[in-house]
């Protein structure tokens, strides 16, 4: 992800462009005269923050770009740290060919043939360097499917292209020039709230192109920056398959559409259930194969695992495509939450809960949170159906440790700054770190364990696509089936601006990558095209009507317990929420 900075609006025109890409890529284009300590310190901090995202290798490049009038020069500095998860050869970024430079943070799962021993960034750059027009460049990214953010400097045209994928599965933050901070930044991760920059998520609607040649020759760069940056909409033209998510099917069911009565597929859904399983199975397969292994018999893949239907289905399908002699790690996080512990005692009133109290001897252990209970139950179902080593990793987070982590987690999740952002970010931060204990069987002594897996499967997306939230049931109550369809379309429209960027910043801080099988554009299109009444039925009870199609699929796969398990939000299932008080999730927190 990148960072572009434009420093102007001063008696002496100083221009600085800074760019940062995930895999820890940093690019700075600046006037040779611009070496202010404030700017250099900010760049150093952003470089350090991005470096944690790619621990395998680091390198840098420098080029100079001078305007045709000879009056102004940009010095382009590029730095990248690589998290290598594809290919057999050691890869060092930035990629360079014919003076073109490419910084790539992503994975290609469809649209470009990638052999087992090839690196997708290397192959994509080869195709990109052969593009001769602007149209060929931005159309190329509509032919590939996968999470990405990138920056591409074309030396001949002196253009910089940058974007992230249509669903925003990779973080890219933007700070636009203003009077107080007259520079422009893009970065995969910030250093938290800072008066020197005002970050927001970069829109996924466009491929951006910055004309350096024009910017170099402009007078007032503050106002010229926008005019020198072209936004190319993502178009679904011929041959451009992955430009944007498919629209939701608006067909309404007949007024007398029958109620579903159980988790046995009715005749009209048998084929659809089979196709859902096939589509999701293919998505999982593409995301777990060809991952380099650090050492023999070590887990390469882990699942963020609550024991709910989403994570269990992903674990079940991953089992099919990972060698049986290789473990799969199931990361299950639980927080010591004094308010929850105190709530188990007789002194369960507002005044008593103001101070942490010691729980009674017969109180539930602090880490036996709802997600731990369902996780323990569900891993046993997986072990019966899929014999292999399942490392159920109990990630236990003491209250003091979670509190001490707030400054770091808040800086990673920024510009997310709500109570809900923090409770979700805390759960993801500790779960993805993967440091906990495992047991041979439920009653055995715990053994310390740190997951070696650097690819983490995440079930995010199933609720949005298949109607798993309570608001979908509410939409039916107020607007009928059309209300549900409108809500499902809204879910797809706002996926890029909600959780994904924040989650990427938090998880990648451990040098790991999260992959979302439910959010393959291919799978999203398949589900979006289905009639709404094939996906859910808000007229029947929860645990059946919500995500109905996925529940039928889970039951057909043999996951009887998981198929009927009710939805529970991660922050409540892990007890990462409401440690200090009852605050609404959308309330802003005071970031230091």
The SS3 of residue 324 is: coil
The sign of the CA dihedral 443, 449, 455, 460 is positive
Residues sharing a CB contact under 8 Å with residue 538, sequence separation 6 or more, in sequence order: 467, 472, 473, 475, 476, 477, 484, 545, 546
Q: Which of 365, 337, 398, 366 is nearest to 572 (CA)?
A: 337
User: How does 459-476 read in b/e, with b if 16+ C-beta sit within 10 Å?
Assistant: bbbbbbbbbbbeebbebb
Instruction: Give yes or no: 23 in active site.
Output: yes
Tracing tokens 């899929």 back to the chain, one arrives at: 386
Residues sharing a CB contact under 8 Å with residue 486, sequence separation 6 or more, in sequence order: 475, 479
DSSP state at residue 418: B
CA 347, CA 329: separation in Å to the nearest integer? Answer: 39
Q: Which of 254, 233, 250, 234 is nearest to 242 (CA)?
A: 234
Answer yes or no: are the C-beta atoms of 506 and 224 closer than 8 Å. no
The encoded tokens of residue 317 equal: 């399908």
Give the helix/strand (H/E) hosting 315: helix 309-321
| CA 187 to mean position of chain CA atoms | 15
Tracing tokens 């499917």 back to the chain, one arrives at: 145
How far is CA 538 from each of CA 216, 468, 532, rounded to the nearest angstrom?
Answer: 58, 10, 10
Q: Which of 464, 456, 418, 432 is nearest to 167 (CA)?
A: 464
How far is CA 477 from each of CA 384, 396, 469, 472, rounded to the nearest angstrom?
Answer: 40, 40, 13, 9
CA 105, CA 25: separation in Å to the nearest integer? Answer: 8
Q: Which of 149, 165, 167 is nearest to 93 (CA)?
A: 149
Give the helix/strand (H/E) hosting 42: helix 37-51
Q: Looking at the DSSP assignment, which residues form a beta bridge with residue 30?
A: 16, 75
The encoded tokens of residue 418 equal: 């709500």
Neighbour count for residue 490 (Cβ, 10 Å): 14
Question: Helix, strand, coil proportions of the chain in percent (round to 5)?
Answer: 35, 20, 45
Neighbour count for residue 440 (Cβ, 10 Å): 9
Sheet strand arrangement including 455-457: 447-450, 435-438, 390-397, 328-335, 301-304, 455-457, 513-515
Residues sharing a CB contact under 8 Å with residue 136, sequence separation 6 or more, in sequence order: none
Active-site residue numbers?
23
């Amino acid at each position: 992800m990148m960072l572009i900075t434009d420093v102007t609006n001063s008696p002496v025109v100083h221009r600085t462009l800074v760019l940062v890409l995930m895999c820890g890529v940093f690019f700075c284009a600046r006037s040779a005269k611009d070496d202010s300590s404030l700017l250099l310190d900010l760049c150093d901090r952003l470089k350090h923050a991005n470096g944690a995202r790619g621990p395998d290798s680091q390198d840098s490049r420098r080029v100079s770009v001078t305007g045709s009038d000879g009056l102004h020069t940009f010095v382009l500095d590029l730095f990248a740290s690589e998290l290598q998860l594809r290919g057999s050869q050691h890869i060092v970024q930035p990629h360079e060919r014919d003076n073109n430079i490419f910084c790539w943070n992503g994975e290609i799962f469809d649209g470009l043939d990638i052999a087992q021993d090839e690196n997708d960034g290397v192959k994509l750059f080869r195709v990109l360097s052969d593009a001769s027009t602007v149209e060929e460049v931005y159309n190329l990214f509509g032919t590939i499917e996968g999470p990405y953010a990138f920056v591409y400097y074309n030396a001949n045209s002196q253009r910089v292209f940058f974007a992230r994928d249509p669903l925003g599965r990779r973080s890219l933050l933007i700070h636009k020039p203003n009077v107080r901070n007259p520079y422009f930044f893009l970065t995969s991760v910030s250093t938290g709230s800072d008066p020197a920059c005002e970050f927001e998520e970069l829109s996924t609607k466009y491929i951006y192109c910055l004309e350096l040649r024009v910017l170099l020759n402009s007078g007032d760069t503050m106002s010229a920056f926008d005019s020198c940056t072209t936004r190319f909409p993502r178009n679904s033209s011929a041959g451009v398959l992955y430009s944007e998510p498919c629209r939701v099917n608006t067909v309404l069911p007949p007024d007398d559409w029958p109620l579903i009565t159980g988790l046995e597929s009715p005749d009209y859904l048998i084929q659809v259930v089979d196709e859902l399983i096939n589509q999701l199975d293919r998505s999982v397969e593409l995301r777990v194969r060809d991952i380099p292994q650090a050492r023999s018999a070590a887990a390469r893949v882990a699942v963020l695992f609550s024991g709910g239907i989403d994570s269990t289905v992903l674990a079940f399908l991953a089992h099919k495509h990972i060698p049986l002699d290789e473990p799969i790690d199931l990361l299950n996080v639980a927080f010591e939450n004094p308010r929850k512990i105190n709530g188990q005692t007789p002194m369960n009133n507002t005044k008593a809960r103001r101070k942490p109290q010691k729980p009674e001897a017969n109180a539930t252990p602090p880490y036996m949170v709802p997600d731990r209970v369902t996780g323990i139950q569900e891993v046993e179902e997986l072990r019966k159906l899929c014999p292999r080593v399942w490392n159920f990793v109990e990630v236990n987070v003491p209250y003091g440790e979670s509190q001490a982590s707030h400054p770091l987690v808040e800086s990673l999740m920024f510009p997310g700054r709500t109570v809900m952002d923090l409770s979700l970010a805390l759960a993801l931060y500790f779960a993805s770190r993967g440091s906990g204990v495992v047991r041979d069987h439920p009653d055995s002594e715990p053994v310390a364990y740190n997951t070696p897996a650097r690819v983490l499967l995440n079930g995010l997306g199933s609720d949005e696509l298949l109607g798993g939230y309570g608001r979908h049931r509410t939409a039916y109550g107020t607007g009928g089936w059309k209300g549900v369809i409108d809500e499902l379309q809204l879910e797809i429209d706002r996926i890029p601006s909600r959780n994904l960027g924040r989650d990427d910043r938090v998880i990648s801080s451990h040098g790991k990558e999260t992959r979302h099988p439910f959010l393959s554009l291919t799978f999203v299109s398949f589900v979006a095209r289905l009639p709404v009444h094939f996906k859910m039925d808000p007229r029947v009870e929860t645990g059946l009507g919500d995500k109905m199609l996925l529940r039928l699929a889970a039951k057909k796969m043999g996951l009887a317990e998981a198929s009927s398990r009710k939805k529970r939000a991660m922050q409540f299932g892990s007890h990462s929420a409401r440690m200090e008080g009852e605050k609404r999730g959308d309330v802003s927190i005071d970031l230091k």
